[in-house]
Amino acid sequence: MVEQAVCLSDACEECGGVRKGWVVQLVKSGRLRWEVEWECPGCLVSHQWVWGPAPAHVRDLLIDRHGVERLKVVGEVQKKGVLLKVFREVFGVPIAEAQEFSRDAMSSGYEGTRVEVALLSRLLRERGVEVEAGSGACG
């Protein structure tokens, strides 16, 4: 399982005490998932998880803490539709956005979280697309 997390701290909305939390993005059962868990000494633990890509504010927290990784297609892609299909499958985005992600992956590199890039890399390689991935990929 691939995962990435950020620890948070803020005031509890229920009792006003200081609560600690974790925001996590992971790949589970071959799919993206994100989770938020809060623990307050004065209240019970709250946990939320959602299948699919993380919302922008969660993704931004992960990137701010851990940086971006890049996925770059190397070599010739036999079926261009494979890239679109994988980006749509992972992120649930419209075709236009999947095309933009695909263009990035074939030029300067698609930038995402480590979790996103790990899943995309695996799925693309399984479909015969050669990629480089990591924080040092693409220069």
Averaged confidence pLDDT in the chain:
90
For residue 94, the SS3 value is coil
- pLDDT over 60 (residue 77): yes
Q: Which residues pair with 3 in a beta bridge?
A: 26
CA distance 84 to 112: 16
pLDDT of residue 119: 97
What's the whole-model pTM score?
0.86
Name the band, by pLDDT with cuts 50, 70 and 90, for residue 100.
very high
CA distance 19 to 71: 36
Task: Please give the share of the chain, as a percent, with pLDDT higher than 90.
Answer: 65
- pLDDT over 50 (residue 138): no
Name the band, by pLDDT with cuts 50, 70 and 90, for residue 87.
very high
> What does the DSSP assignment read for 79-124?
-THHHHHHHHHHH---HHHHHHHHHHHHTT-EEE-HHHHHHHHHHH
pLDDT of residue 99: 95
pLDDT of residue 43: 79
Pairing of strands 18-28, 2-11: antiparallel
pLDDT of residue 103: 94
- pLDDT over 70 (residue 94): yes
Task: Read off the pLDDT of residues 102-124 as tens digits, 9 standing for 90 and up.
Answer: 999 999 999 999 999 999 999 99
Residue 86's CB: how many other CB atoms inside 10 A? 23
pLDDT of residue 79: 83
The amino acid sitting at 39 is E
Q: Which residues pair with 50 in a beta bridge?
A: 34
Q: Which of 26, 123, 47 is nearest to 131 (CA)?
A: 123
What is the CA 131 to chain-centroid distance, rounded?
A: 17
